[in-house]
Amino acid sequence: MNNLWIASLDAADRQRLEPHLAEKAFAQGQMLYDAGEAVDQVWFPLNGVVSLMTVLPEDKMVETAAIGREGLVGVTCGPMNARASSRAIAQIEGSAACCPGEVFADALSKSASMRNALARFTESLFAQIQQAAACNAQHRLDERLARWLLTLHDRADADRFDLTQSDIAGMLGVRRATVSEVGSVLEDRALIRRGRGWVEVLDRGGLEAASCGCYSAMRGVMKDLGVPRPSAPDA
């Protein structure tokens, strides 16, 4: 199982889920569910990246968390059958093993170990959301961009991934022209390379040095909680 959260469960817990899983592909930009919608299935990414977006007035939005194959999407909005408080959008195309919400809820009700695993993941996700909020409010844009690219790099399974300036601007909640300017700073330092609709990480260590401390803080929380951590391609 490529999903690290499911793989971390014991055999009995995996058996509660695996017969009910169906693999589904998602395209870049696809919305898995919107804020305010009832969520009726749980997505366990096998590859690709899903962003949780906080929707602002006039349909503006900003990313508050990114989830790859280390976790799950669809139960972080509240109790099962609750309405989502955020919009889930595929940032990098991929696929997920999907489970009906009622099946997942039933498995949780029967397994304390699965409930503990979910609690650890949601606590780490909440920490990521809090850290991102503080980062967006306090740190320079070049540091934020480096942190965000590292987060994607961990989950993308490749050094190069499809991203436009518009995509990045939407995730960081800034103007596209601003992304172009700040991206040039990282590119001039030979940390990344950009083309039309793509970004490539050239120097991961340098990108970590250029990032604020929020990236390592997020990774540290996952380690402390015993949550599976996504790894960069060469990690």
Q: 140-160, pLDDT tens digit by residue? A: 888 888 988 998 898 888 899
Q: 10-60, pLDDT tens digit by residue? A: 999 999 999 999 999 999 999 999 888 888 899 999 999 999 988 877 777
Q: Are 204 and 234 in contact (CB under 8 A)?
A: yes
- Rounded to two decimals, what is the model's pTM? 0.88
Superfamily for the 4-111 domain: Jelly Rolls (2.60.120.10)
pLDDT of 8:
93
User: How is residue 173 written in tokens?
Assistant: 């909640």
User: How is residue 156 written in tokens?
Assistant: 């993308």
CATH for 135-225, among 3.30.70.1350, 1.10.10.10, 1.10.20.60, 3.90.1150.10? Answer: 1.10.10.10
pLDDT grade for 235, boundaries at 50, 70 and 90: very low
Q: Are 32 and 73 in contact (CB under 8 A)?
A: yes
Torsion angle in degrees (nearest 10) through CA of 16, 123, 137, 205: -80
